[in-house]
C-alpha cells in the first residue's frame, strides 16, 4: 500500500524558508502570490494490513514534530 | 570522589571532543564517551552532555533521528531520575525532539548559518547549570547554527517565563527566537538545552572564558547536593 504523508508548518508558525521563496518568486516577476509555505512529503510503501493507528503513530513519533507541524495521511492504494 | 560524566556521540556529532575537553579541564576527570547505538549508559553518572554537530546529517529535522536512537531512551530515563543533562546546539535540538524540553528549534529567521560570539543574559542563576553566574549577568558565548530559532506557542512561553525556566536570553536576537530565548530548563531544572556553545569558551585561547562558570557551577552544585 502506498501512503503519502504531507507535513506542513502549523498556521502561525513563521516559515522563513517560505518567505525567502515568496521573495524570490516576486523577484522573478510573478504577481499575486500572497503567501508561500514549505512543507515535506513522505512517501511510504507499507504492508496492506498496516493500521491507521500505526500510520498515525509513525507521524506523531517521528515523521512530524507536532509542536510546529501538522500532518495529513493520504492512502494512494 | 571523581566527577563521573558522559558525552554522547551520534553519527555527525562534531563538538563531542570539545565538550569532553571542557569537562575534563574543569573536573580533572575525563568523561566517558558513549556511542548513540549503545543500549545502556554507564552506571552512576553525575552529568550527561549531548554535544553539538549535525547528528544523522540533520535528516528529517535537526535532532529528530538522534532523539529516537537507542541511547536516548536511556538518557530520558536518567533525566527522569534527576541526572543533570546538558544539550548544546544540536544537543538542544535533540532534547526538544525527545520532548525532554518544550518547543522546537526552527531554521534561523535570516536563513543564514550564524557563526559568531553573541551576548547572553543569564535569566536564572539558580539552576544546577547557571549557579556559577549572577542573575542578570551578561556573558559572551559563541553560537554556530542554522536551526536555532526557538519556537513555542505563547502559552508555553508564558509558562516557561513564569516558572523561571528561561536560563539564557540573547542580548541581541541573532536567529529569530521567540522572546530572545537562547536556553531553557525542564520543569525539574535538571535538563538544560542551549544553542550557544559554553564548551567553546573555557580557555583564554578560545577568545573568552565565560563558559567556564557553567561547568564549574554545575560541579559545585552537584558536589554540595
- Answer whether B138's CB lies under 8 Å from B117's CB: no
Q: What is the mean pLDDT of residues B177-185?
A: 98
CB contact under 8 A, B106 and A63: no
Instruction: Look at B152 and A65 and tell me if their CB atoms are within 8 Å.
Output: no
Tens of pLDDT, residue by residue over A30-43, are: 999 999 999 999 99
- Active-site residue, selected from the candidate residues B74, B97, B123, B199: B199
C-beta separation of B47 from B23 below 8 A: yes
Test A16 with B108 for CB contact under 8 angstroms.
yes
Percent of chain B whose predicted confidence (pLDDT) is above 90: 96
Interface residues of chain A, partner chain B, Cβ below 8 Å:
13-14, 16-17, 20, 61-63, 65, 67-68
- pLDDT for the residue B118: 98
Name the average pLDDT for chain B.
96
Domain that holds residue A14: 2-75
Q: Is the ipTM of this complex over 0.90?
A: no
The three-class DSSP label of residue B210 is: coil
pLDDT at B1 over 60: no
Task: List CB contacts of A35: < 8 A, sequence separation 6 or more.
Answer: A18, A22
Give the nearest partner residue to B111 out of A17, A62, A68, using CB atoms: A17
Active site residue B197: yes
> How close, in Å, is residue A77 to chain B by CA atoms?
25
Concatenate the DSSP letters of all residues of B25-65 into one string: HHHSSPPEEEETT-S-PPTT-SEEEE--B-GGGG-SSTTHH
* Segments forming the whole domain that contains residue B163: 5-223
Element housing B96 (H / E):
helix B90-97
Q: In the predicted model, is pLDDT for residue B225 greater than 80? A: no
Residue B146: give its domain's CATH number: 3.40.50.880
The answer to whether A13 contacts B151, with C-beta atoms less than 8 Å apart, is: yes
A14: nearest CA in chain B? B109
Residue B23: pLDDT over 90? yes
A65 has a pLDDT exceeding 90 = yes
In the predicted model, what is the mean pLDDT of residues B6-32? 97
Q: Which of B104, B107, B111 sits opposite A65 (nearest CB)?
A: B104
Task: Give the model's confidence band at B193: pLDDT under 50 very low, under 70 low, under 90 confident, else very high.
Answer: very high
Q: What are phi and psi of B201, to 5 degrees?
A: -140, 60
- At residue A12 the predicted structure's pLDDT band, cuts being 50, 70 and 90, is confident
B206 burial (CB, 10 Å; 0-12 / 13-18 / 19+) is middle
Paired strand residues for A71: A7
Say how many C-beta atoms besides its own lie within 10 A of residue B40's C-beta.
Answer: 10
Annotated catalytic residue, options B36, B74, B89, B123: B89
- Rounded CA-CA distance A22/B192 in Å is 36
Consecutive H or E run containing B161:
helix B154-162
**pLDDT in the model for residue B154:** 96
Domain total of chain A = 1
Q: Domain count of chain B? A: 1
* Chain B CB contacts of A63 below 8 Å: 60
Predicted pLDDT at B66: 96
- Find the CATH number of the domain harbouring A35: 3.30.1280.10
Amino acid at each position: 500500500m502506498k501512503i503519502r504523508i504531507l507535513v506542513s508548518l502549523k498556521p502561525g508558525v513563521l516559515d522563513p524558508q517560505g518567505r525567502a521563496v515568496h521573495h524570490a518568486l516576486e523577484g522573478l516577476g510573478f504577481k499575486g502570490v500572497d503567501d508561500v509555505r514549505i512543507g515535506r512529503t513522505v512517501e511510504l510503501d507499507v504492508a496492506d494490513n498496516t493500521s491507521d493507528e500505526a500510520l498515525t503513530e509513525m507521524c506523531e513519533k517521528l515523521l512530524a514534530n507536532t509542536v510546529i507541524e501538522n500532518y495529513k495521511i493520504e492512502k494512494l492504494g | 570522589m571523581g566527577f563521573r560524566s558522559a558525552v554522547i556521540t551520534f553519527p555527525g556529532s562534531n563538538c563531542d571532543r570539545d565538550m569532553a575537553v571542557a569537562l575534563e579541564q574543569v573536573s580533572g576527570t575525563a568523561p566517558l564517551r558513549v556511542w548513540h547505538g549503545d543500549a545502556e549508559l554507564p552506571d552512576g553518572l553525575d552529568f550527561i552532555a549531548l554535544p553539538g554537530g549535525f547528528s544523522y546529517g540533520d535528516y528529517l529535522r535537526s535532532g529528530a533521528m538522534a532523539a529516537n536512537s537507542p541511547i536516548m531512551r536511556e538518557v530520558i530515563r536518567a533525566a527522569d531520575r534527576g541526572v543533570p543533562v546538558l544539550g548544546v546546539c544540536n544537543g538542544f535540538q535533540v532534547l526538544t525532539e525527545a520532548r525532554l524540553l518544550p518547543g522546537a528549534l526552527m531554521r534561523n529567521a535570516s536563513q543564514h548559518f550564524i557563526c559568531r560570539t553573541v551576548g547572553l543574559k543569564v535569566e536564572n542563576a539558580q539552576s544546577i547549570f547557571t549557579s556559577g553566574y549572577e542573575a542578570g549577568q551578561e556573558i559572551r558565548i559563541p553560537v554556530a547554527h542554522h536551526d536555532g530559532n526557538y519556537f513555542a506557542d505563547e502559552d508555553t512561553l508564558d509558562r516557561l517565563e513564569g516558572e523561571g525556566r528561561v536560563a539564557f536570553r540573547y542580548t541581541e536576537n541573532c536567529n529569530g527566537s521567540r522572546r530572545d530565548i537562547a536556553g531553557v530548563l525542564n520543569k525539574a531544572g535538571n535538563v538544560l538545552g542551549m544553542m550557544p556553545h559554553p564548551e567553546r569558551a573555557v580557555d583564554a585561547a578560545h577568545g573568552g572564558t565565560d563558559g567556564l562558570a557553567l561547568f564549574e557551577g554545575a560541579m559545585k552544585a552537584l558536589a554540595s547536593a
